[in-house]
Structure 1
């Protein structure tokens, strides 16, 4: 592990969490900074490998902790037969937060959930609002089936505009999509839709470029490749949970401040759906940010604009604390 930036906080560790050893990666510049726990997407796709590519400036204001969830990344490599359920992941997250609070002497932790991590984060803050200073949703999932309907119509629209007959034929071959249930058959179709969305920059492209970014990570190991492949099977039950997930069918009352940072070109988790739900949210404070020319990997696509947004959120929260002290 290379600490190229000579960070005072730069730790890789396996911590006993909920009966297994789980992987945490900490990086920061000051021991008294607020602690942000980053919940990765997927399920089964840890983003700790990409941290070096987008979060250097973040570490000036936060101590950022990446956590490879049960059934993902380095935690899966360490525990190849320990598969997640939503109840286990919520308990894992609770215990991880207790560990971080004690380690950094904090009363609360900031949660940032990206994509699938936004499902886990949104579920957690409903159950344990007292543990979280505020929540940031990136690529916020509100309803998986609705995401797929809107994203499918968008790529179809662009394919027709471009008179791309080859892609249109591929899209039509997929058949009815997404249907009325996001099951494993739908997931297979989803992978085909993602390829077409990637071609039109509407979703993450799994190509050589993104692979190179992961391989260059100072914490990359060859075992991370096999973990990524095995993560699909390990997270089958979580995929089922995700497929049935719907925030818009639940009460939109939150006891923690809510911030959404969404990409203007993200049609994998379309911002239009998150915006509609966000308008219904009742929370102590809330703010919606749309980053132009950014897709689903919003922080990688527009790192400076994303950092500027985090800085604004942090300043708002600091000002509130100062005004109440």
Structure 2
């Protein structure tokens, strides 16, 4: 039976996962489609509220599941004291995949990780490759320290080209950035938000502006408590930010047992696509493909929804052929 949204699958639910109730949002057109689990960014910044901005076409080829992670969104508001560590996150993800496989009668799921979600996804597929059909990295993080160095140098270069003395002055007033090691304390969080603002001015990073909030408020699943969760994001994810500060995929072998696909925005200098592109060349996997989307930044699926979908469709077709 179809529902108001006209989607065969349209479900919001809280599921008992790893000792707490966690929020899942399912959308799709057929039980036969592969199940794609979307790992949001942040840490702590849910993307279940943005589905209507990019996902409609995806639902023709995948059953798309958004999970508000521990320490984020609706899951955080239900469990204010159940805060994430990397071990808990990996266990949560493992149990959610098990739950989805059973619910949709699948052997494996497709994992799509965006930004911080690409960190969680990359670590997970190394640990549990047998659970995942293939992995899609979007705004793929490889090395957090390198990210910030490259992104800083890019915005500085553009300011100098433009002769934008005011912005250069603002950049210089931040002081040394990012330093030798990233420690997500108050001082660094303040610096990073100032850097993002300046990068935003040059369309190098995702903007939290009026259109961002309009999309949030229009979401069919939006509640005002989601805003409270957004404000609690940094405090709730302290442990995860510490993990992220030291994260570097180059510290281990780039061998994977599942096919790897990257979809990167050519204007993404928040998580510079050039770093992921370089790492991609080293990857050894059963299959691998990279798509670089023109005129798209860190939120590539929202910046260029049609081109992003074309990249997804291509991946889906390759995987269908291979199986």
Instruction: Please indicate the TM-score interval, normalised by the length of the shorter structure.
Output: over 0.9
Q: CA deviation digits over 1:223-272, x for unaligned, max 9?
A: 00000001210001100100000001111010000000000000011111
Q: CA deviation digits over 1:176-198, x for unaligned, max 9?
A: 00001111232321111000000
Map 1:177-256 → 2, pairs under 5 A: 177-183=177-183, 184=185, 185-256=187-258
SS in 1 for 2:232: helix
The corresponding residue for 1:80 is 80
**Any unmatched runs of 5+ in structure 1?**
none
* Separation in structure 1 between the aligned mates of residue 219 and residue 152 of structure 2, nearest angstrom: 33
2:66 is the counterpart of 1:54: no
The corresponding residue for 1:291 is 293
Alignment size in residue pairs: 320
SS in 2 for 1:166: helix
SS in 2 for 1:319: helix
SS in 1 for 2:221: coil
* Separation in structure 2 between the aligned mates of residue 163 and residue 189 of structure 1, nearest angstrom: 22
2:24 is the counterpart of 1:24: yes
Deviation, 1:4, is 5.0
* Separation in structure 2 between the aligned mates of residue 128 and residue 247 of structure 1, nearest angstrom: 17
Map 1:1-325 → 2, pairs under 5 A: 4-183=4-183, 184=185, 185-321=187-323
SS in 1 for 2:192: helix
* Separation in structure 2 between the aligned mates of residue 180 and residue 42 of structure 1, nearest angstrom: 22
* Separation in structure 2 between the aligned mates of residue 284 and residue 181 of structure 1, nearest angstrom: 34
* Separation in structure 1 between the aligned mates of residue 263 and residue 190 of structure 2, nearest angstrom: 28
SS in 1 for 2:71: coil
* Separation in structure 2 between the aligned mates of residue 212 and residue 269 of structure 1, nearest angstrom: 24
TM value normalised by structure 1: 0.97
* Separation in structure 1 between the aligned mates of residue 135 and residue 246 of structure 2, nearest angstrom: 22
SS in 2 for 1:232: helix
User: CA-atom RMSD, angstroms?
Assistant: 1.0
* Separation in structure 1 between the aligned mates of residue 38 and residue 230 of structure 2, nearest angstrom: 18
* Separation in structure 2 between the aligned mates of residue 191 and residue 169 of structure 1, nearest angstrom: 16
* Separation in structure 1 between the aligned mates of residue 161 and residue 171 of structure 2, nearest angstrom: 14
Deviation, 1:71, is 0.3
* Separation in structure 2 between the aligned mates of residue 84 and residue 125 of structure 1, nearest angstrom: 19
**Any unmatched runs of 5+ in structure 2?**
none
TM value normalised by structure 2: 0.98
- Segment drifting more, 295-304 vs 158-167: 158-167
